[in-house]
Amino acid sequence: MKSASIVCLLLAAFAVSSPSRAQESALAATPPMGWNSWNHFAEKIDDATVRAQADAMVASGMRDAGYVYINIDDTWEGQRDAQGFIHANQKFPDMKALADYVHSKGLKLGIYSSPGPKTCAGYEGSYGHEEQDAQTYAQWGVDYLKYDLCSFNDSAMKQAASPEAAHQLMIGAYQKMHDGLLKTKRPIVFSLCQYGMDSVWRWGASVGGNSWRTTDDINDTYERMETIGFGQAGLSRYAAPGHWNDPDMLEVGNGGMKPDEYRTHMSLWALLAAPLLAGNDLTKMTSETVALLTNREVIAIDQDPLGKQGDRVWAEGAYEIWAKPLTGGAKAVGVFNRQSTWMKPSQVEVDFRMLGFKDAVHVRDVWQGKDLGRISGLYKVTVPTHGVVLLRITP
Ligand code: GAL
């Protein structure tokens, strides 16, 4: 199919589905915030651990800072009964009771499935049971679904006659679950996970996606986080209230990166208006980790109601400047230094005119929580290697 006709089809799909999309944009008006079990616990996740994470989200102050979703990733799934209804495995004896517990803390519960017959970890997927599974999730009190392509790619899509046919099958599979979720009448955030295939940012919203993963998995190294984070350049135009680019979950607090590197991770994700899904063990956080995850000013950049994703505005060698428009004509600006860590911190010159400010601006250093006063023209900042200076600029 010619790309022009794909665009027409997408526009048509967009127009047809607009009433339900209004409901969705209320659902994820700002990027979803919460916690997900996968990065830290992987398959070692059970009812008691999820409850402990919910408790810790409240006790640590994360809930009050805006984190809401407690998301169970893969490996909760058990068998289907004779009527085809999915049941959780022995690690989750009563999913409804767990949802009630999470709700009693003022939080929401998320769950995980695949459009394929099997999930990525080889557990039962939703293939052929989409509507039934959506009903089950709604009955349990689930508020968020991560829908991970997994075996749908290896089974149905591999057998398709052409790449276009495979693409249509994938779109159909996501649409099917979205229809199932809408039928439940329960607001359930729909989080697409297919690793950014087929430029998902171009069509994710048309199948009801409130977010879509733009990349393959993150891990707890600076190199992987850097590849993913800085690789998001150019995607800002596809994010808006109700549907967001998702560069994968946070690794902050898992121990594999230095403080400057985690500050880069948080700053970049906030500038990207990315979902902020903590991926660490919330019951064992240092005060540094709590401070990184709950910095109100950083979260306010991510959650700014204007709903605009930031993008790269300047790069020279290992130095980059990213900017995100905020309400009231303000801008968040990240100055990054990607030089190797054996080098000294570098001075980078920020040109406020290049950022669209002709007159003097008010500048605040976000991580330092310090007002730097009114500045015009050029401003030099010293940025540590693998680090960032995050500024909030107000006209
Ligand atoms: C991957 C996904 C991860 C995690 C994992 C579970 O495909 O990208 O975020 O969900 O599956 O098996």
Assess whether pLDDT exceeds 70 at residue 208: yes
The token duo for 195 is 């690793």
| Shortest-distance Cα residue to atom 9 of ligand 1 | 217
Mean pLDDT throughout 182-189? 98
Q: What is the pLDDT of residue 290?
A: 98
Helix (H, G, I), strand (E, B) or coil at 44: coil
Q: What is the pLDDT of residue 4?
A: 38
Cα(174) to ligand 1 centroid in Å equals 16
| Average pLDDT for the chain | 94
Does residue 120 have its Cβ closer than 6 Å to ligand 1? yes
SS3 track for 92-125: CCCHHHHHHHHHHCCCEEEEEECCCCECCCCCEC
Cα(216) to ligand 1 centroid in Å equals 9
Atom number of ligand 1 nearest to Cα 149 = 7
Assess whether pLDDT exceeds 50 at residue 85: yes
Active-site residue, from 179, 198, 217, 311: 217
Has 217 been annotated as catalytic? yes
Q: What is the pLDDT of residue 155?
A: 86
Atom number of ligand 1 nearest to Cα 42 = 6
For 75-89, b/e burial (b = at least 16 CB within 10 A) is bbbeeeeeeeebebe
What is the best residue among 39, 120, 151, 228 to mutate for testing ligand 1's pocket, by most ligand atoms within 8 Å of CB?
120
- The most distant pair of C-alpha atoms in the chain lies apart, rounded to whole Å, by 71
CB 51 within 8 A of CB 213: no
Give the β-pairing of 108-113 and 69-71.
parallel
Cα three-residue angle 329-332-336, rounded to 5 degrees: 150
SS3 track for 189-237: EEEEECCCHHHHHHHHHHHCCCEEECCCCCCCCHHHHHHHHHCCCCCHH
Atom number of ligand 1 nearest to Cα 249 = 9
Q: CA-to-CA distance for 233 and 235, rounded, in angstroms? A: 6
**CA distances (Å), 391 to each of 159, 259, 272, 274, 368, in order?**
50, 18, 15, 18, 10
Does residue 65 have its Cβ closer than 6 Å to ligand 1? no
CB 116 within 8 A of CB 122: no
Cα(350) to ligand 1 centroid in Å equals 38
φ, ψ (nearest 5 deg) of residue 142 = -75, 145
Q: CA-to-CA distance for 42 and 237, rounded, in angstroms? A: 33
φ, ψ (nearest 5 deg) of residue 18 = -60, -35
3-state helix vs strand vs coil in the chain, percent to 5: 40, 25, 40
**CA distances (Å), 225 to each of 265, 282, 304, 320, in order?**
7, 20, 23, 15
Q: What is the pLDDT of residue 26?
A: 83
The token duo for 121 is 């970890």
Cα(120) to ligand 1 centroid in Å equals 6
Q: What is the tens place of the pLDDT at every residue in 121-157?
A: 999 999 999 999 999 999 999 999 999 999 999 888 9
Q: CA-to-CA distance for 75 and 88, rounded, in angstroms? A: 9
Does residue 269 have its Cβ closer than 6 Å to ligand 1? no
| Shortest-distance Cα residue to atom 3 of ligand 1 | 217
Which pTM was predicted? 0.93
Mean pLDDT throughout 178-190? 98
Mean pLDDT throughout 242-246? 98
Atom number of ligand 1 nearest to Cα 121 = 12
Cα(150) to ligand 1 centroid in Å equals 8
* pLDDT band (50, 70, 90) for residue 116: very high
**DSSP line for 46-95:** -HHHHHHHHHHHHHTTHHHHT--EEE--SS-EEEE-TT--EEE-TT-S-H
> Which residue is it, tokens 């695949």?
114
CB 56 within 8 A of CB 93: no
Mean pLDDT throughout 223-251? 98
Cα(200) to ligand 1 centroid in Å equals 17
Give the β-pairing of 319-325 and 331-337.
antiparallel
Higher-confidence residue of 17 and 239: namely: 239
* pLDDT band (50, 70, 90) for residue 21: very low
Radius of gyration of the chain (CA): 21
Has 100 been annotated as catalytic? no
Does residue 212 have its Cβ closer than 6 Å to ligand 1? no
What is the best residue among 45, 77, 217 to mutate for testing ligand 1's pocket, by most ligand atoms within 8 Å of CB?
217
Q: What is the tens place of the pLDDT at every residue in 25-46?
A: 589 999 999 999 999 999 999 9
Does residue 198 have its Cβ closer than 6 Å to ligand 1? no
Assess whether pLDDT exceeds 60 at residue 2: no
Cα(148) to ligand 1 centroid in Å equals 7
